[in-house]
Amino acid sequence: MYLILIFEIVIVTCLIGYMIQKYCSKDVSIYVKGMALVSWLINFLLLLFLPFDIYITYRDQSVGSISNDYLSLAETYQILYWTNFILCWTVIPIMQEYEESVELDKRDKLKKALKNNVRFYIIISVVGIVFVLAIFYTGQAQQCGLGTFLKSMANSFGVALIIVLLGYGLVIIPKAQMRTSQLDVQMKYLYFRTASINGEKDDAHHKLLETSMKVFQIKDQRFDNDDMMYYLNKCLNMIPRNMHKILKKEEEKRKSQILMTITGAFFKNKGPESVEEMMNLYQEIRKNSLEYKRIKAQWKENCKSAYEMEDIIKAINSQEKKVQFSFKKPREGTFAQKLDILEWHWLCVIKPQLKVIISLTFGILSILVLISEVTIFMGTQFTIFGLPLRYVDGLLSISFYSFIPLLYIAFCVYYGLFKIRIQGFYGLYGDHQTDAPSLMFATINFSRVGAPLCQNFLNMIKLKQETAFRYAMGNIELLPIFGVSITALMPCLLIVLCLINYFDLFDKTLQLIGMKQFIFNNTFSDRLIFEGRDALKLNRQYFERKMKPEGWSDSSEPYDIELQQKLMY
């Protein structure tokens, strides 16, 4: 049992380290990555221990005594939970604000981080006081200690977050697999994403250009304050190299007497007069520069996927059974032809059919999870995922029947967490585009759903015996205000959330009220499909001329060149 558990911990640790390294930008500090690794690992350990916990509980019931494994696991749960609790509610939020701060002195950065978090703690304290009064009013003060109260609050928040994310993941994951099983539909979606990202990239480029103009106008100024000179150099380093040409061209126009009268009002800028103003300018250009780099990376990756999909669709009726990729070097060697044939069968035949099977499997699991969550609200003893556990025996069997549904629920929740991107603020971005504050933001949310996921799963399988997890946590559903109302009412709301996400009402509502930055994904549009297709046609010739067959050059920026030509003329 312990060898299997150690093996799982090693595998999970390696995967977490790989994911953090894949998402983090190069300038993220090693201690930030280390904190994220520790917090993510603690969160996943809670999930890994749960199947073994269920097995130990059934085993001890059969012998009629509590084993040392049970007690040791309960103590481990206590250590993991309170370590995770302190990290995700105190340490990591302070680290997030610390990394977001631009002050030069570390003490000033720490003071600002503490100051920004004090507001959050005040709100939490006020809410806590209200519920403490409610506890005394309902006569439950003797049954509830401080530890139980804190666990109940954290569990309530976690369950609410889980239900929101499940409402998204249970619907979108099967839909995404079914959509990508049809190559023509996937091609249309890539066309749509191309046009959508082009629009976002245009906006991000314009914002960065405006901010860069403010910096470029004061680049030759000499400030008496060394801190202001430091921030000025930092601002100049944030301007992309290809944008310097545009700014120099605009500066030459500005110096012209004729254009001076036309554009004088626009370019009139006294520049920052204090360190605080220079810091604000640096924060603005850093934010805009980072957003532009992220969207540019998404644009490159989307174009790459779109061109590859076009090549795959063209090769469906190929007599040679070979996919001729536009931007990949052809294979060479003895087994090249056989590998090309295998690749053609995988991409054109097997993979689309496999995605249909995966989509149907995920769809069935989503329905079963939805029914199981609703049974929590109904208060019935009927259980779907807990039924096989009553008729199997042995570590492997019990671990299998408990781990598979738990893994899928966790996958749906974490899928939603990876998709949360507050535009202009935080989110997880691939291709090394995630900065330290965004990584800390994701770590906070990851850490706050681990223990509630375990509690929610135990409620779904309806074990009559007390597991080591529940023994360690205590009755965190004791409080009617928290435990019963949240853990029983929220699963019922899951049906509404699933319907909202199935018909894309969530994204449409946010767009309607002007809160697009909180949208999980963009709404499909036929108009953008044609725009994306035309944009890819225009860019394909440029890529074929400029790109190397082995990969994608970072200097390629056809969309920026079009913008430059518009600005120059």
Q: What is the mean pLDDT of the chain?
A: 81
On whether the CB atoms of residues 308 and 552 are closer than 8 A, the answer is: no
User: In 218-274, where does DSSP find H-type helix?
Assistant: 226-237, 241-255, 257-267
Q: Which of 254-263, 429-438, 486-495, 525-534 has the lowest mean pLDDT?
A: 254-263
* pLDDT 10s digits, 458-515: 988 888 888 999 888 887 765 554 444 555 666 678 888 888 888 877 666 655 655 4
* Nearest of 240, 560, 239, 299 to residue 429 by alpha carbon: 299
Mean pLDDT, to the nearest integer, of 423-435? Answer: 74
Q: Is the pLDDT of residue 140 over 80?
A: no
User: What is the largest distance, in Å, between two alpha-carbon atoms of the chain?
Assistant: 95
Query: Could you tell me which residues come within 8 angstroms of residue 372 by beta carbon, excluding any fewer than 6 positions away?
Result: 383, 384, 385, 405, 460
3-class DSSP assignment, residue 496 = helix
pLDDT at 346: 94
- Residue 98: both structure tokens together: 């610390």
The rounded distance, in Å, linking the Cα atoms of 10 and 14 is 6
On whether the CB atoms of residues 150 and 473 are closer than 8 A, the answer is: no
The rounded distance, in Å, linking the Cα atoms of 374 and 422 is 30
On whether the CB atoms of residues 235 and 213 are closer than 8 A, the answer is: no
Mean pLDDT, to the nearest integer, of 11-32? Answer: 91
* Nearest of 399, 454, 396, 471 to residue 72 by alpha carbon: 471
Residue 421 — φ and ψ, nearest 5°?
-140, 105
* b (16+ CB within 10 A) / e for 336-347: eeeebeebbeeb
* pLDDT 10s digits, 260-309: 555 544 444 556 778 888 888 998 999 899 889 888 888 888 888 999 99
Q: Is the pLDDT of residue 554 over 60?
A: no
3-class DSSP assignment, residue 421 = strand
**Type of residue found at 448:** R
pTM: 0.82
Q: Which of 47-51, 327-331, 357-361, 541-545 has the lowest mean pLDDT?
A: 541-545
* Nearest of 163, 128, 162 to residue 481 by alpha carbon: 128
Q: Write the burial class of residue 305 (CB in 10 Å: 0-12 exposed, 13-18 middle, 19+ buried).
A: middle
* pLDDT 10s digits, 101-112: 888 888 888 988
Q: Write the burial class of residue 549 (CB in 10 Å: 0-12 exposed, 13-18 middle, 19+ buried).
A: exposed
* Nearest of 203, 164, 170 to residue 420 by alpha carbon: 164
Mean pLDDT, to the nearest integer, of 51-68? Answer: 88
pLDDT band with cut points at 50, 70 and 90 for residue 38: very high
pLDDT at 569: 31
Residue 427 — φ and ψ, nearest 5°?
165, 165
The rounded distance, in Å, linking the Cα atoms of 118 and 111 is 10
pLDDT band with cut points at 50, 70 and 90 for residue 564: very low
Q: Write the burial class of residue 357 (CB in 10 Å: 0-12 exposed, 13-18 middle, 19+ buried).
A: exposed
pLDDT at 4: 84
* Nearest of 561, 558, 564, 565 to residue 194 by alpha carbon: 558
Q: Which of residues 357 and 459 earns the better pLDDT score?
A: 357
% of the chain residues with pLDDT over 90: 26
Residue 569 is given by DSSP the state -
Q: Which of 150-164, 331-345, 516-530 has the highest mean pLDDT?
A: 331-345
The rounded distance, in Å, linking the Cα atoms of 48 and 55 is 12
% of the chain residues with pLDDT over 70: 81
* Nearest of 468, 366, 386, 462 to residue 77 by alpha carbon: 468
Q: What number of helices (H) and strands (E) belong to the chain?
A: 21, 0
3-class DSSP assignment, residue 361 = helix
Mean pLDDT, to the nearest integer, of 189-216? Answer: 89
CA distances from 442 to 35, 37, 151, 234 (A): 12, 12, 21, 27
Query: Could you tell me which residues come within 8 angstroms of residue 76 by beta carbon, excluding any fewer than 6 positions away?
Result: 49
User: Considering just the CA atoms, what is the radius of gyration of the chain in Å?
Assistant: 28
> What's the CA angle centered on 209, arms 208 and 215, to 5 degrees?
90
Q: Is the pLDDT of residue 393 over 90?
A: no
**Type of residue found at 165:** L
Angle of helix 2-23 relative to helix 30-63, nearest 10 degrees, comes to 150
On whether the CB atoms of residues 183 and 309 are closer than 8 A, the answer is: yes
Q: Which of residues 263 and 540 earns the better pLDDT score?
A: 540
On whether the CB atoms of residues 385 and 460 are closer than 8 A, the answer is: yes
The rounded distance, in Å, linking the Cα atoms of 339 and 437 is 43
pLDDT at 462: 85
pLDDT at 512: 60
CA 260 to chain CA centroid, Å, is: 47
* pLDDT 10s digits, 453-469: 998 899 888 888 889 99
Q: Which of 33-37, 130-134, 553-557 has the lowest mean pLDDT?
A: 553-557
| Half-sphere exposure for 80 (CA within 13 Å, toward CB) | 26
Residue 91 is given by DSSP the state I
On whether the CB atoms of residues 27 and 438 are closer than 8 A, the answer is: no
* Nearest of 193, 194, 424, 419 to residue 292 by alpha carbon: 424
